[in-house]
């Protein structure tokens, strides 16, 4: 599992760029960023090279940020790669809260999944590896 930084961000002009500038000024490099929004706020999810440092600088700058454990899985960057991973997880009847994908090279994409419950995440890890997928560590993607 890896650490993802989740930031609850006011949905107003300039807040996202200020967040990114805060991380850049602290020399934190992002590999992925995704945003889900509502009328009043956004939920920004970040994968970066140093989640501990990112969390510290964001909290020091008065952002509402938390670290969340998520599964990052290398998926072949080909038709059906993600479908095979999700079918593996479906067979276990796991509850996936959310997910997103990004690519770090031409051969593989990274699928990030938040699987509800520690026991379910552990069960998923075993099934993912048994199906031939690789679970990634922070150092593999940052």
Residues 89-139 have pLDDT tens digits of: 888 888 888 999 988 767 888 999 998 876 777 778 888 898 889 999 988
- Contacts (Cβ under 8 Å, ≥6 apart) of 52: 3, 67
- pLDDT of 118: 63
Instruction: Name the phi and psi angles at 13, rounded to 5.
Output: -55, 130
Q: Is 75 left (phi over 0), alpha (psi -120 to 50) or beta?
A: beta
Residue 37 pLDDT grade (very low, low, confident, very high; cuts 50, 70, 90)? confident
Question: Residue 108: its pLDDT value, please?
Answer: 86
Task: Quote the CA–CA distance of 105 and 73 in Å, as a whole number.
Answer: 14
Domain ranges for the chain: 2-69, 70-141
pLDDT at 20 over 80: yes
Q: Say which residues have a Cβ less than 8 Å from residue 28's Cβ, sequence separation at least 6.
A: 48, 49, 50, 53, 54, 57
CATH class of the domain at 70-141: alpha beta
Q: What is the pLDDT of residue 113?
A: 92
What's the confidence (pLDDT) of residue 111?
92
Q: Render pLDDT for 43-85 as a digit per residue (tens, 0 to 9).
A: 999 999 999 999 999 999 999 999 999 999 999 888 898 999 9
Superfamily of domain 2-69: VC0802-like (3.30.2130.10)
Q: CA 72 → CA 1, 4, 24, 63, distances in Å? A: 6, 10, 23, 25
Q: What's the pLDDT score for residue 122?
A: 77
Q: Which is nearest to 19 in space by CA: 68, 66, 54?
A: 54
């Amino acid at each position: 599992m890896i650490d993802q930084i989740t930031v609850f961000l006011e949905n107003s002009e300039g807040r996202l760029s200020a967040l990114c500038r805060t991380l850049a000024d602290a020399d934190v490099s992002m590999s992925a960023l995704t945003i889900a929004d509502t009328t009043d706020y956004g939920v920004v999810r970040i994968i970066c090279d140093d989640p501990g440092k990112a969390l510290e600088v964001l909290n020091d700058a008065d952002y509402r940020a938390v670290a969340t454990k998520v599964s990052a899985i290398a998926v072949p960057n080909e038709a059906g790669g993600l479908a095979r991973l999700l079918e593996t997880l479906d067979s276990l009847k796991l509850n996936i809260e959310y997910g997103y994908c990004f690519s770090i090279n031409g051969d593989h994409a990274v699928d990030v999944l938040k699987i509800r419950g520690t026991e379910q995440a552990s069960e998923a890890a075993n099934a993912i590896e048994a199906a031939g997928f690789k679970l990634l560590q922070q150092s593999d993607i940052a």
